[in-house]
Amino acid sequence: MTKKTRAIEVGGLRTSSSDRAQAAKGDRTMRHFTIHHDGVTLPVTRGGHGRPLVLCPGLNSTQAGLHELAELLRRDHDVLTFDLRGHGLASAADRYSFEAFLIDLTAVMAGPAHLDLDAAPTLVGYSLGADLAVHYAAQHPGTVAELVLIDGANPVPEPFITEALLPEVRAMWADLAAQQETERGTARQVLLTAREILDLNIEIDAVRSRILDQYRKIDRPITLIMSTSMAGDSGEGHTPRFNHNWRAGVERLVREQPHLATSWLNADHQLVFTHAPEIAQIIRNTQHPAGQTTSPATPERLL
């Protein structure tokens, strides 16, 4: 290894002197780092030019899956993406819990301080990643410039997974885990079992029942980007109740935190994959006046 590319490790983040020089110049070249902490290895990718931004994936999503959104944001942001434990190119772990994933995000957020970022980053979280972002910002004041929460961190009035729904939900996650077997060995793989996914969803319900307490600790601008039909547009089965519960949670949050800026997209919970251009445009325009809320509309009317 030459002196020019001599690897250094700061706080568990492996980088190089040439990478740091490129970062200082705002180089768009993609750079790859590895964070070793808590018995797991997390891959981090950095690229783009502009305001620093960290993009946190959610449960069953990876930085490879968020590639389109990340590339759009890199046009005017210095973007860091990463994989949570058990997802994508991250290593497996002996435990998967909300707290463990929050430790992952905390380790990633400790890295930018050593990467010559010129300002605190915008922290963007999708689904579970939004919940992680809220908890991180509440526990580490002053470390983020603002939050953008995509279809997550929602203080829904009722849990989604009830005792009556357990058999149905258990079968659904078993089907998903079987589908994910086809992604093994790729950057989109998810190593969690159906039982681990179910247990995490139950835990997330509990986390969201208390998340308003976390919002009250945050003094940074927050933008919500929410789906109008989180569970899909079917009028049958549990779908209407799920969608009503989702909207009721957002309405509750806006009443509690009227300074939030809220955008709605006519989409389901997959909006981060199906509406990446619209989401990227909203993130570019996150400087909203206090209390501004957009009405439910088509993505074209939102932008």
User: What local confidence, expressed as pLDDT, does residue 287 receive?
Assistant: 53
Can you give the pLDDT at residue 94? 93
User: Pairing state of beta strands 31-37 and 13-16?
Assistant: antiparallel
User: pLDDT value at position 118?
Assistant: 78
Question: Which pLDDT score, from 0 to 100, does residue 114 have?
Answer: 56
Residue 9 has pLDDT above 60, yes or no: no
Backbone region of residue 116 per phi and psi (left: phi > 0; alpha: psi in -120 to 50; beta: other values): left
With b for 16 or more beta-carbon neighbours within 10 A and e for fewer, the 213-248 pattern comes to: ebbeebeebbbbbbbbbbbbeeeeebbeebbebbbe
Q: Parallel, antiparallel, or unpaired for β 222-227 and 261-265?
A: parallel
Is the pLDDT at 265 greater than 80? The verdict is: yes
Q: Please calculate the CA angle 132-210-217 and round it to the nearest 5 degrees.
A: 65
* Amino acid making up residue 288: H
Tens of pLDDT, residues 77-126:
999 999 999 999 999 999 999 999 999 999 999 975 556 777 899 999 99
Indicate the angle between helix axes 128-139 and 194-209, nearest 10 degrees.
50
What gap in Å lies between CA 201 and CA 153, rounded to an integer? 13
- Each residue's pLDDT tens digit, 157-178: 999 999 999 999 999 889 988 9
pLDDT for 186 beyond 90: yes
- pTM across the whole model: 0.87
The average pLDDT across 190-219 equals: 97
pLDDT at 135: 98
- CA distances to 66, 109, 130, 224 from 124, rounded to whole Å, are 12, 12, 7, 10
Q: Any idea how long the chain is?
A: 303
User: Burial, 287: exposed, middle or buried (Cβ in 10 Å; 0-12, 13-18, 19+)?
Assistant: exposed
Please tell me the distance from the alpha carbon of residue 118 to that of residue 48, in angstroms, as a whole number. Answer: 14
CB atoms within 10 A of CB 1: 7
Segment 250-260 shows an average pLDDT of 96
Q: What is the mean pLDDT of the chain?
A: 87
Query: For residue 293, what is the DSSP state?
Result: B
Cα(215)–Cα(138) distance, rounded to whole angstroms?
7
Residue 300: predicted pLDDT: 36
Max Cα–Cα distance, the chain, nearest Å = 64
Residue, of 294 and 269, whose pLDDT is higher = 269
On the question of pLDDT at 24 being above 90, the answer is no
Residue 183: burial class (beta carbons within 10 Å; 0-12, 13-18, 19+): middle
Measured between alpha carbons, how far is 59 from 69 in angstroms, rounded to an integer?
Answer: 17
Pick the CATH number of 29-302 from 3.40.640.10, 3.90.700.10, 3.40.50.1820, 3.40.720.10: 3.40.50.1820
Q: Reply yes or no on whether the pLDDT at 296 is more than 50.
A: no
Q: For residue 131, is pLDDT > 50?
A: yes
Q: Where are the domains of the chain?
A: 29-302
Better pLDDT: 237 or 25: 237
pLDDT at 289 over 50: no
Position 113 scores a pLDDT of 53
Q: Which two tokens stand for residue 106?
A: 């905390």
Residues 6+ apart with CB under 8 A from 213: none
Q: What pLDDT score was predicted for residue 209?
A: 97
**pLDDT grade, residue 29 (50/70/90)?**
confident
Residue 151 has what DSSP assignment? S
37-46: per-residue pLDDT in tens?
999 999 999 9
Copy the structure tokens of residue 64: 């490879």
